[in-house]
Structure 1
């Protein structure tokens, strides 16, 4: 098909619109909104290990499809960065007990979608959260809620803290 003055004009117009969309941030907004993720359990686990964060699994496994495992497959990088920042800020021993494995409540900001991490209760962690984070009421299941200065939500469940990481900071 020959290039005519009209097709050149249309191409130039599309190029200008595309450039404007990129500059204003409207292009690929869905892609920009998607959080960066670790593809494998091993990638995320390596970051935790390097930071001195431990984890355990009741089933001794990391299979994302098993409820008795602790998996970091497809976890948000901000969630891993958040628990590492929490470890550094608190100087407490941190043991992760839940990640992206099945068996947790569903929803956009869920474990399976990579936003949540469970950590074991301990005196150091409990005191740090209660003393430094803002009490935010009770969740529907009765869990006490605390909001960190970074905007993350810490829910004290029976045997652990259920943390929703919206950002990779404390």
Structure 2
């Protein structure tokens, strides 16, 4: 008899359940509140800035993390860790971004990152070129499938518009 089958028979003989589910309170949420995400970023040396010096999700001048996906936060932290660069988030889930498609800012999949020589060099050297987006942004794709768009908006500052599909860089 295989060890897994033997263990199942033993557990059943003891009258114990064969499987258990964690209580809902023990399951990690898919998204963070602003305070939760800010705490994670702060703990890992990721900074953020806001032109309005605020975090209100309903104000486009703010940088909000309300509803940001855990995998997006993990991806930003992984980028900081692997690149050894300063990473500053300049936009999160606040209104004012494109509302096209599933993988967008307000759904918690995207952040904008401040452009630095260190970050530019790391992204261009370690991620493969993936063409150009419809708005002219040059695209780079990480080995894990995340997309980094070098965005030059008509108004606002040059930045990396990053879509995180998973918690890797």
Q: Distance in 1 between matches of 2:43 and 2:112?
A: 19
Select the residue among 60, 65, 86 that pairs with 1:67. 60
2:77 aligned with 1:84: yes
Q: Shift of the alpha carbon at 1:160?
A: 0.4
Q: Distance in 2 between matches of 1:132 and 1:113?
A: 27
Q: Distance in 2 between matches of 1:86 and 1:130?
A: 13
Q: TM-score, normalised by structure 1?
A: 0.78
Q: TM-score, normalised by structure 2?
A: 0.79
Q: Report what 2:104 is aligned to.
A: 110
Select the residue among 132, 143, 166 that pairs with 1:138. 132
Supply the RMSD in Å over aligned alpha carbons.
1.2
Q: Distance in 2 between matches of 1:56 and 1:109?
A: 22
**CA deviation digits over 1:14-43, x for unaligned, max 9?**
xxxxxxxxxxxxxxxxxxxxx8111x2011
**SS, match of residue 112 in structure 1:** helix
**SS, match of residue 140 in structure 2:** strand
Q: Which runs of 5+ in 1 are unaligned?
A: 1-34
Moved over 6 A (4+): none
